[in-house]
Copies of this chain bind each other. A is one copy, B any other.
């Protein structure tokens, strides 16, 4: 714990592993972290596969490092049987930062958890935060649900798009609208970048304005060569200044902790279902529903009653 706070990547890694494994030590660690968390700026990056999220993340890491800030990166991947989380391609892109003490990079798998972003992600953020990261980038592949969740975790959500990934309907269908504070058209030197930008502008104009008065920005980027990175860094800073002055930063952090407590409580309750003795009422409930003698709502009512009246 002290090692992690003094910047040992290995110690931070061990703490995050405790989180991922839901280790029995976790509660102790969480209690020790509590006084130190709540300082880091959390930036979410999301977009469909192939838009260049990892390249963009790497470019942002370089920019924040140049400014002397300590950076954490959490890459939240739908897990694959081959990688245990991160894929080789991403690793290669991040390898410039692999030997930098001021950068901590970690991949997390989401499969099998309740919800697209692992319930462990907020806890891993908390570890990086308490370990002294000034900025934490959360990168996630996603269509639909995971963007909504990343928006819940991050102070600033950056949605990436790229030319050649589909027309305007695909943009809308990808479910990326409404959640972004910043929209970045990456690979902006390629054919079609203007078209994506125009479709995006059109879609955003149709959408609902965010409640806190922020108007989402559209930026162009060629992350692979660094074009547009300073502008992106400035836009992130501008959004953060807006959050601060509007009071939304505090509101988002409150909401985030509220959700965090709620998901942990639900997870604990869910574990109780699993810990019910074999041959228990849950199996009997399944039998009765299968036989058409009970509907699932009534079955759930019986289960809740039993759980809450021990």
- Smallest CB–CB gap between A221 and chain B, Å? 19
Q: Which residues of B contact A296 (CB under 8 A)?
A: 30, 122-123, 126, 257, 260-261, 264
A238 contacts the other chain (CB 8 A): no
Q: Which residues of B contact A30 (CB under 8 A)?
A: 295-298
> How many copies of this chain are found per oligomer?
2
Identify the closest chain B residue to A299 (Cβ): B261
Partner of A172, one of B83, B265, B304: B83
Are the CB atoms of B143 and A142 closer together than 8 Å? yes
Are the CB atoms of B148 and A112 closer together than 8 Å? yes
Are the CB atoms of B145 and A300 closer together than 8 Å? no
Cβ proximity bits A280-310 to B, threshold 8 Å, 1 near / 0 not: 0010011001101111111111011001111
Identify the closest chain B residue to A263 (Cβ): B300
Please report which residues of chain A, range 105-122, place their CB below 8 angstroms from some CB of chain B when the two chains form the complex.
Answer: 110-112, 114-116, 122
Question: A307–B307 Cα gap in the complex (Å)?
Answer: 10
**Contact A298:B31 (CB < 8 A) given known A145-B115, A208-B81, A257-B286:** yes
**Contact A82:B172 (CB < 8 A) given known A290-B257, A310-B308:** yes
Interface 9-mer from A55-63, A64-72, A268-276: A268-276
Q: Which residues of B contact A170 (CB under 8 A)?
A: 49-50
**Contact A268:B300 (CB < 8 A) given known A50-B166, A289-B257:** yes
Q: Which residues of B contact A110 (CB under 8 A)?
A: 144-145
A247 contacts the other chain (CB 8 A): no
A169 contacts the other chain (CB 8 A): yes
Are the CB atoms of B264 and A266 closer together than 8 Å? no
Q: Which residues of B contact A295 (CB under 8 A)?
A: 27, 30-31, 33-34
Question: A169–B142 Cα gap in the complex (Å)?
Answer: 15
A84 contacts the other chain (CB 8 A): no
Known: A80-B178, A126-B296, A261-B296. 10 other contacts (CB 8 A): A27-B298, A77-B173, A78-B173, A80-B177, A123-B296, A141-B173, A143-B143, A145-B145, A261-B282, A265-B307
Using a CB–CB distance below 8 Å, which chain A residues touch chain B?
26-27, 30-31, 33-38, 48-50, 77-83, 87-89, 110-112, 114-116, 122-123, 126, 141-146, 148, 166, 169-170, 172-175, 177-178, 203, 206-208, 253-254, 257-258, 260-262, 264-270, 273, 282, 285-286, 289-290, 292-301, 303-304, 307-310
